Structure formats: structure tokens, C-alpha cells
Structure 1
Amino acid sequence: MLKENEQPYIGRWWHREGDRIVCDLCPRACHVKPGQRAYCFVREGSEDGMVLTTYGRSSGFCIDPIEKKPLNHWYPGTPVLS
């Protein structure tokens, strides 16, 4: 849900079918009504179309061993936030 002072960011790759909005981004092709979220929880139906609920925010954090990153020669054996 968007906070009161946040402006919704209208996404792309969607179309209307009757009273529902259809997401064209992935093969699931979610059919949502205004106020309902898609299966991914990133897109939500609104009166204006399909809005992105995570636009401008980080959607995931992970702490990995530094050896998984191209920084493995720099401080080996330490964790890195990615």
C-alpha cells in the first residue's frame, strides 16, 4: 500500500479487460481489480492502471560471503551486503 504522501508510479505492460487490469509482464498474466495486488506483490491495480508498489525502494537484501562477488580479493572471508 502506498503511504498518503507518496505518488503512485504507473507501470508499463498492462491492459484493461472490463473491470480488471491484466499484467502483461510475466506469463502468469494476473487479472487484478483496483486495490488488489498481483501474485508478485510488486504490482497493484488502481483506478489509473497498474502501479508499482516497490518503485524507488529496495526489494531485497542479502548477506553473502565476499567470495561470491567480484570483490573476493578484497578482505577475503568477510560478509558483504548485496
Structure 2
Amino acid sequence: MPTLILEIHDLDDAIIDVITMEGGNPARAFHYLEENETPFPVKLWREGYRGRTFLGDIRRDDRGVWHIQDRQVEAEVDDA
């Protein structure tokens, strides 16, 4: 079964906590972050039998909606 890994970073990008969750649905991370009122940047990974895959940075927008942002998509938007 896949595992989700949440790396919680401080504002200087140092890892301050690592949370692991069983299951492959990345939306489970939103519930955890909401329950724990996490104010810091979070990097989301999925680990399975093929290794660890970066899914993206989790951000909350001004309306309070959680998003997983892939860095590659952000780079393409910046280039436009």
C-alpha cells in the first residue's frame, strides 16, 4: 500500500516535521493540515514499491482552499 509523506518546512525551508500516512489519496493530507492548523509550507510525497515520488507543494489560497502545486507547472506559468 502506498504511503503519503508530508514534509513540514519552516520559512527558511528547513524540515521541522515529517508525517507519514497510509494510503495513496493525496487529499488525505488536506484533512491532516486542516485539523492541525499547519501554518508552514508542506511538501507532499508518495512512497510505494517503486520508490518516492514528489507530488507537489501544498498551499492554501486566500479563500481557504487547499491546492497541490506541481513545481513544473509553476515554472511553465512563470515562463509565459
**TM-score calculated relative to the size of structure 2:** 0.28
Question: Which structure features the higher share of helix residues?
Answer: 2
Structure label with greater radius of gyration: 1
Question: Which structure features the higher share of strand residues?
Answer: 2
User: Whose relative contact order is higher, 1 or 2, with alpha carbons under 8 Å and at least 6 apart?
Assistant: 2
**TM-score calculated relative to the size of structure 1:** 0.28
